[in-house]
Chains A and B, each alone.
Chain A
Amino acid sequence: MADVFRALDDETRRLLLDELVARDGRTLFELCTTLVTRHGLSSSRQAISQHLGVLEDAGLVVTERRGRTKIHHFRGEPLAAITQRWPASRKDTP
């Protein structure tokens, strides 16, 4: 779970997740273009690639091959573990 919190503790990585939730299944090239044109970020492609690696290590992003191109997908399961541990609505209050 610590990996998930570390992964979320960065605005660029949160924006990458926002973009994948808005439309899943994107290439590194498209994510870089989107961060520049839509969010005004100027991170290098290498930096974005490293951010995606952190998200992947935390299980929030998975990749698959479409042809010879790597495609990134959002996975919300690690986030569900957070609300399982600390429920969003408490059951012991009426």
Chain B
Amino acid sequence: MRISLTSIFVDDQRAALAFYTDVLGFTKHHDIPLGEASWLTVVSPEDPDGPELLLEPAGHPAVKPYRDALVEDGIPLVQFAVDDVHAEHERLVARGVMFTQPPTDAGPVIMAVLDDTCGNLVQIVSERPA
């Protein structure tokens, strides 16, 4: 068994696609119309055959209270690995991205948390240089 796809709920699929590709740097993988929404996934250009991230519409009534409560407490819903959290933080702040947590030492890793503008907080981590 492998993890081939994971999903997050997004307020608006097109806005999410723009943020996850133009700002974060992922690549669009599938964009298949399904009624009002699309089967919309992105992958990492560093790992194009790796796990897909499904940007799923947040229309179900359970989604809003669930995500609102997590965002209020600063809890991320998804985590991405980067080479250097400090460099990535600097790059994304320059792009206007809001961080709820700047790069922070957390034992063996450095982590930071950003707002994806689509209703989620995203954690980025890198291993701490030896």
Contact = CB atoms under 8 A, between A and B. Distances in A.
Q: Do A and B bind each other?
A: yes
Contact of A37 (B74, B107, B121): B107
Interface residues of A, number: 17
**Which one of B74, B101, B104, B107 has the greatest number of beta carbons of chain A within 10 Å?**
B74
B49 interface: no
Nearest to B74: A27
B73 A67 contact: no
Nearest to A28: B73
Contact of A26 (B101, B105, B121): B101
Nearest to B117: A67
Contact of A68 (B68, B76, B106, B111): B68
B58 interface: no
B112 to A, nearest CB: 10
Contacts of A29: 73-76, 100-101, 113
A27 B104 contact: no
Interface string B65-86: 0001001111110000000000
A38 to B, nearest CB: 8
Contacts of B12: none
22 contacts: A27-B73, A28-B74, A29-B75, A29-B76, A29-B113, A30-B113, A34-B104, A37-B105, A37-B107, A66-B98, A66-B100, A67-B98, A67-B100, A68-B68, A68-B71, A68-B72, A69-B72, A69-B100, A69-B115, A69-B121, A70-B72, A71-B100
Interface of A: 26-30, 33-34, 37-38, 45, 49, 66-71
Q: What are the 5 A-B residue pairs with the smallest beta carbon separation, nearest first? A: A27-B74, A29-B74, A28-B73, A37-B107, A37-B106
